[in-house]
Chains A and B, each alone.
Chain A
Amino acid sequence: MIAVHQLSKKYNQTEVLNIESLDIPKGQSFGLVGNNGAGKTTLFSLLLDLIHPTTGHIKNNNIIVSESEDWKPHTSAFIDESFLIGYLTAEEYFYFIGELRGVTKTDVDALLTEFSSFFHEEILNQKKYLRDFSKGNQKKVGIIASFLGNPEVIILDEPFANLDPTTQIRLKAILKEQAAKRGITVLISSHDLMHVTEVCERIVVLEKGKIVNDTMTSESTLQELESYFGG
């Protein structure tokens, strides 16, 4: 589904990302871990064509993302709060994204009811704009909005950060369910090793822009990762 080919990104002379090759098959739940500055967000930004690669390219469903926009209909993402429109209410935002992705209002409503336990009655009918929501609640809105319109690829940057424990647990269940149900390719980055190992089938460790570890998740993965980052 996603194919990275000799991708690198330089700012001035410093190289922040250099990936020889990386293939993510359809339906895989893929986790990206690494310390600050490892290049996680850079990779996701390149994947969404928000920055231009210095060399190489990324293919999303055989479409080179920096050359054509045809990957947009089947891809959705939530990177940070700048993906929200601050002056809309949560409902308006969902409907807006829905309209962009060709989802009718009733279908949006159906999806929202499906996730009502995730929202914990803090999102809908709040009578306030998204800019006045707390960070955690903003995140909930962004994550659920990225499920609209049956995307085949979902990209979430640090989805667990800022969420309360209850929501973190629910989010893990939702992500697993999504990945299993419709064969969606989910890409997640996280600092929380426990969460990623629980949710993702495959984990890639980035360090200073390079892939240093690429494993399928097993019982021992968490321990391996912990000793890697601890030592």
Chain B
Amino acid sequence: MVRKLLSLEWKQFKRSPNFQKGLAIKIILILAVVYFAVSFLFLGVGAFFIIEDAFPDQDPITVVNNYLIYWFLFDMFYRFFMQQMPVLNVKPFMVLPIKREKLIHFVLGKTAFSVFNFLPQFFFLPFSIVLLFQGYSPLLVIGWYLAMLFFTLCVNFLNFLINKNNTFFYIIATLLLGGIALQIYQIVDFTVYGGMFFNKIYEIGYGFLIPLLALILLYRINYTIIRKGFYLDEEIRKKTKAVSSQDMSFLNRFGDVAPFLKNDIKLIIRNARPKQVLLMSFLFLFYGLIFFTQDIYRDMPAVLVFASVFVTGGFLMTFGQLVPSWDSEYYKMMMSQNIPYRLYLKSKWILMIVGCLVSLVLSIPYLYFGMDIFLMIAAGAAFNVGLNSFITLLGGVLNRVPVKLNEKAKAFSNTQGFNPTQLIIAIPKMVGPMLIFYIPYKFINFEAGIFALALSGIIGLVFYKPILNKIEEVYQKTKYKTIAAYDEKN
């Protein structure tokens, strides 16, 4: 039975349109995985000696244990955004004589073999082996390694849980945020407790039993939740809340773009995926904090420009790169309806600009880092509005990935923004503003750089009509390809 299910999985993987089309993407992904594996491997082998050098008076295993809490937190964080949740299309299996238990165990077991679980082992395993060679007690080291393995798997199933179940998501998110707040205001120092905890696990030797028990518990909870949801009416029929029609006639002042604007706003507020983008773009606002707080970047204004562009460009880029994919579900209708493409594009463009301006207003607190920084952000916003918006729209049409509006996205499940053309398009977005700033900055001064960046955006705005026309042409030219691509449901 399991073998049959596995062969189905393999077929699903091999025959998915994404796989057949995007071999280049797969290669890039595999390279990325190999890169991380090798980096971890080197880190695993070298960590012991590096730590020994850096903290000569401390035991390397203690140092590692002290920081493990961050490791696992980070693990959880990026899994939440990156790891693809296993989907087994249950509907066809429900009427077949297969035990439900078996299917659920299969789905859960499958996640244990995720790349995300193997990667950390490339660090833990060599590190443990080095410990053994250094004469640490084999029993303790093996116990510690097992504990790490089980903790990794715990994170795996915890992630599964918070993905499938909103209650758990909110509980965990609250706990984490609370913990971070307590840490920041130095009420409780979790680093110390985390260190104590992991060191204890190492010292007592049979400490791996704790994560093992947690693992079994998490597995059971996952199992029960899926088991309960294993009915058509609950899985497939989602609860529908009563909704009412919205008029939005206040948007009529935008003239002929108004019908599209109204629609696009409804698109954003009524669908899961665009809402997710909205949240993501809000997080982009904080991107600058990483750079502006570090003194080393103070003397590298080109890097700061890079950050500034992202502060206001979050929505513009994340939303814009999926134009026209947002309308993929009903693209055929759009293409046969009495629609001037210009207006369609213009509406999306206006939304992107509004998103950028709202971000600019929200980034006013960056004044705290000085007028220079804020000017940089404002110039970055000008670049975003005047140039980046067009580059992004152009990239979008080359994207051609159907978007399921009311389903949240996971990286790797749909490889959006990850095809070679998309990468090439991304280069001017990243390098462009840095160059526009850097050249006048180098030869004249800082103000000239800022001015050049702002000017680039204004020039784009002045010529928006011919530029939009050109983009429209590209959209028209690729129309059939786009329709065909959207027709393929994954």
Which residues does A use to contact B, with CB under 8 Å? 48-52, 72-73, 75-77, 79, 82-89, 91-92, 96-97, 99-102, 127-129, 131-132, 149
Contact = CB atoms under 8 A, between A and B. Distances in A.
Interface of B: 240, 242-246, 258-259, 262-263, 266-267, 270-271, 329-333, 335-339, 405-406, 480, 483-484
Given A50-B483, A51-B483, A51-B484, A87 B406 contact: yes
Given A51-B484, A52-B480, A87-B266, A128 B259 contact: no
Contact of B336 (A50, A127, A132): A50
Contact of A48 (B329, B336, B484): B336
A60 to B, nearest CB: 11
A78 to B, nearest CB: 8
A72 B334 CA distance: 11
Contacts of B331: 82
Contact of A127 (B243, B270, B483, B484): B243
Contact of A129 (B243, B259, B339): B243
Nearest to A90: B245
A131 B336 contact: no
A2 to B, nearest CB: 15
Given A127-B242, A129-B243, A82 B330 contact: yes
Nearest to B340: A69
Nearest to A129: B243
A79 B335 CA distance: 12
B169 to A, nearest CB: 23
Contacts of A92: 245-246, 266
A100 B339 contact: yes
Contacts of A100: 259, 337-339
Contacts, number: 83
A84 B266 contact: no
* Nearest 9 A/B pairs, CB to CB: A83-B333, A99-B259, A48-B336, A87-B270, A127-B242, A72-B338, A89-B245, A132-B240, A91-B245
Give the most central of B243, B270, B271, B406: most A CB within 10 Å: B243
Give the most central of A48, A51, A89, A100: most B CB within 10 Å: A100
Given A86-B406, A87-B266, A128-B240, A97 B337 contact: yes
A49 B336 contact: yes
B330 A72 contact: no
Give the most central of B262, B263, B335: most A CB within 10 Å: B263
24 contacts: A48-B332, A48-B335, A49-B336, A50-B335, A51-B484, A72-B338, A73-B338, A79-B332, A82-B330, A82-B332, A83-B330, A86-B405, A86-B406, A87-B266, A87-B267, A89-B243, A96-B263, A100-B259, A100-B339, A101-B337, A127-B244, A128-B240, A128-B243, A129-B243
A87 B203 CA distance: 57
A77 B330 CA distance: 13
Contacts of B259: 96, 99-100
B243 A85 contact: no
Contacts of A99: 258-259
A42 B480 CA distance: 13
Contacts of B333: 82-85
Contacts of A51: 480, 483-484
A86 B267 CA distance: 9
Contacts of B263: 85, 88, 96
A131 to B, nearest CB: 7
Contacts of A84: 330, 333
A87 B335 CA distance: 18
Contacts of A77: 336
Nearest to B486: A82
Given A51-B483, A131-B406, A86 B329 contact: yes
A94 to B, nearest CB: 10
B405 A87 contact: yes
Contacts of A149: 338
Contact of A72 (B245, B246, B336, B406): B336
Contacts of A49: 335-336
B244 A89 contact: yes
B477 to A, nearest CB: 11
Nearest to B333: A83
A50 B337 contact: no
A147 B271 CA distance: 28
